[in-house]
Structure 1
Amino acid sequence: MRPAGSSPAKCRIAPGCVNASSACASWKEPIDGPAPVKAPLAVAAALASLLWLAGCATDGTSASESGANIASPPTARSPLPGSPEESEERRRARIRLELAASYYQQSNFTVALDELRQAIEIDPNYAPVYGVLGLVYNDLGDRDRAEDAFQRGLRLAPNDADLNNSYGWFLCQTGRERASLDRFARALNDPLYRTPAKPLHNAGICALRIGDEETAERNLQRAFQVDPSNAVAMYHLAELYLKRGEASRARFYSQRLLSTYEPTAQTLWLALRVEHSLGNGDAEKSLALQLRRRFPDSPESALLAQGRFGG
């Protein structure tokens, strides 16, 4: 439930799937887009908003629309941004990376690439740069360069949780779902990783893609336990239980999703199908009215008009 007096977060679900949690990301992105970069931000702030890796989609989406997030808050093993321990080269490269992250989130890939190249020129051993570079190349459809970028980053920091999480999402998007599960597990091996819900819900989504519902349910449930506001986990758990015919369990997650975030066509359609399955006619009519009024041109409204509740 939201705190009293608060309003639902304004997020949108990426087409087909839904990276969600404390920030609007992995299927969730802020609906109004990122704020302009006014000053160098901490790596955590600039990059954590990038990708809530793997969102709520059921089909492939770009990392920026889903769950690959690039960097977590600094840990005890790395100098804090702006601290005396951070070298001048690392500081300058970090600023370039933060700018690149902002441009990437706005789908301004040309400028993002330029900033990343400058970051590499300044500090070629700064591993997080290669993770973002891989995501940019992947969104541009250049999978060979994306693979090379991820591999370069992992050679520099093989145990980096964010790099393993992002590379896992890349593997999942390129038909290597089983291999992606190992990368998400590696990310979770880091006891200092502050956002474990991301690799957990990513693992859930990728397991669903290969029909491994048991693994998917286990990881999505863990993601929800770690972060009860995780929209990705809620969306996919509701879909999973609805598919299984466990509509009452599906309703718990679909209703929580609607009460936590501003409704979208996808979440309204999910909740409507759950109520239809339960035979709750009044609730179904109310949700149908909202869907038609708020999203009249959406694919979900078209499915409703056709009576295709299995879609």
Structure 2
Amino acid sequence: MITKLSTVFLVLLSAMSLTACVTQNYGNDKSTPLIENETSNNEIAMTRISLGLGYLKMGNTQQAKLNLEKAKGFAPNLVQVYTAFAHYYETVGEAELAIDAYEQALNINSKDADTLNNYGVFLCRQEKYAAAEQQILKAIAVPSYILVAQSYENLALCQLKAKQFNKAQTYFEKAIAHSPNSASSLYQMMRLQYAKSDYKLAQRYLYRYEKSTRRFSAEALALAFKIFKKQGENAIAKNYGNMLVKMFPYSFEAKQYILNELYRLDADKLAEEYQDSLVGDKNTTNKKRVVVLSPKVVSISEKSDLSNRGLKPIMANSVMPTAKQGVEAKEKNKAAMVSLPIHTVAQGDNLSSVALQHNVAMNSLKRWNKLRSPYILKIGDVLYLADPKLAAKH
């Protein structure tokens, strides 16, 4: 299942523009001062944080903690020190200590949006869904926060985990409104609509996904196959199946396509969970209304139920890149992404117009797609706009 929550990693070390301290020492001649530049304590602390996270990534927890302790010694009031400690404690399975580290970070700066976002991610992992929603919304409410789309996607993924499908859809819509070309949000909406059996809407999100990115995964192609298969569009479905086998011949999805035409995807499991939720709500559907919280700045002192929460830190360092980390620790390894531009045939298209639209030679289109005279195209056909053999090698 591609259900990732974004943990924000800030590369602050190179961006910090701190003024170096200047100290005055004296040589043998006490009357002659020697001026020396001394790196600021915050910069030293950031370097130690970077080293500590690097060691943690390699699995050397002893050296990781040693460097984080040294960072704390240099800058005991630096937010990044405590978010780094929270990440360390989460990694070694000390949830309560991670909570303490997060609370210290937020006591220093209650509007650190990155910390709030990661706090919510961790709470979601601990299945504290309401608390996770509250913390991520605090991050979104910070005026200077720019990763709003990612945080809304986090909220949506967390609601999926909580089996709150309507709320998940609302937050995905907000994520897409803030970032209309976000491939991950579009893919997740495609997956959710498939689970809800709205295959036409899933198809529309598929086309938006294809337009927003030229990078495909085995999972996306497999889901596209199922969307058209469910609608009885077998020819189009087969095109996607062929792409899957050509581009990802060794992937789990390709093997399942060959064996049983992708009888059961992860999205099918999500569909079962959605149906189960409808059965559970059958007697209360008309009585209950879905409430979606709005971003609201809440004081750090409002911690009525924090004692039972797990926390997830945000890291400021120069070792770990800005990246998304999965909510599920056992998320399966996904096939490598492959760049390959395509064109989905629409009404009025012909080989000449497609070649002209994408500025490629007709002979190349024929060769790449193994087309033979009289070159009849059908609506929904998928045409390669580059050599699939070359793309598959990358």
TM-score with structure 1 setting the length: 0.68
Residues matched between the structures, number:
244
Residue of structure 2 equivalent to 1:292:
245
Correspondence 1:218-233 to 2 at 5 A: 218-233=170-185
CA-to-partner distance for each residue in 1:214-261, whole Å, 9 max, x for gaps? 221111111112122323311221111111222222123333334515
Percent of paired sites with the same residue: 23
CA-to-partner distance for each residue in 1:30-82, whole Å, 9 max, x for gaps? xxxxxxxxxxxxxxxxxxxxxxxx1xxxxxxxxxxxx11144889xxxxx711
Residue of structure 2 equivalent to 1:151:
103
Residue 205 of structure 2 is aligned to residue 253 of structure 1: yes
Residue of structure 2 equivalent to 1:178:
130
Does structure 2 retain, via aligned residues, the 8 Å contact 1:72–1:162? no
Residue of structure 2 equivalent to 1:69:
8
Residue 2 of structure 2 is aligned to residue 17 of structure 1: yes
CA root-mean-square deviation: 2.9
**One-letter identity of the residue aligned with 1:132:** A
What is the alpha-carbon distance in structure 2 between the residues aligned to residue 261 and residue 301 of structure 1? 19
Residue of structure 2 equivalent to 1:306:
260
**One-letter identity of the residue aligned with 2:16:** P
Does structure 2 retain, via aligned residues, the 8 Å contact 1:70–1:166? no
Correspondence 1:133-172 to 2 at 5 A: 133-172=85-124
Residue of structure 1 equivalent to 2:222:
269
What is the alpha-carbon distance in structure 2 between the residues aligned to residue 68 and residue 201 of structure 1? 11
Distance 1:101 1:275, change over 3 A: farther
Residue of structure 2 equivalent to 1:81:
16
Correspondence 1:180-199 to 2 at 5 A: 180-199=132-151
Aligned-pair distance for 1:83?
4.0
Alignment partner of 2:79 out of 113, 127, 135 = 127
| Unmatched segments (≥5 aa) in structure 2 | 22-38, 270-394
Structure with greater helix share of residues: 1
**One-letter identity of the residue aligned with 2:135:** R
Structure with greater strand share of residues: 2
Of 206-215 and 296-305, more deviation after overlay is shown by: 296-305
Aligned-pair distance for 1:97?
3.2
CA-to-partner distance for each residue in 1:134-186, whole Å, 9 max, x for gaps? 23432343323322322222222222111110010000011112210000111
TM-score with structure 2 setting the length: 0.55
**One-letter identity of the residue aligned with 2:186:** M
Aligned-pair distance for 1:303?
4.0
Aligned-pair distance for 1:108?
4.9
Residue of structure 2 equivalent to 1:283:
236
What is the alpha-carbon distance in structure 2 between the residues aligned to residue 141 and residue 100 of structure 1? 17
Aligned-pair distance for 1:278?
2.9
Does structure 2 retain, via aligned residues, the 8 Å contact 1:204–1:219? yes
| Unmatched segments (≥5 aa) in structure 1 | 1-15, 19-26, 28-53, 55-66, 75-79
CA-to-partner distance for each residue in 1:166-215, whole Å, 9 max, x for gaps? 01000001111221000011101101101111221111011111122222
What is the alpha-carbon distance in structure 2 between the residues aligned to residue 263 and residue 301 of structure 1? 13
Higher-Rg structure is 2
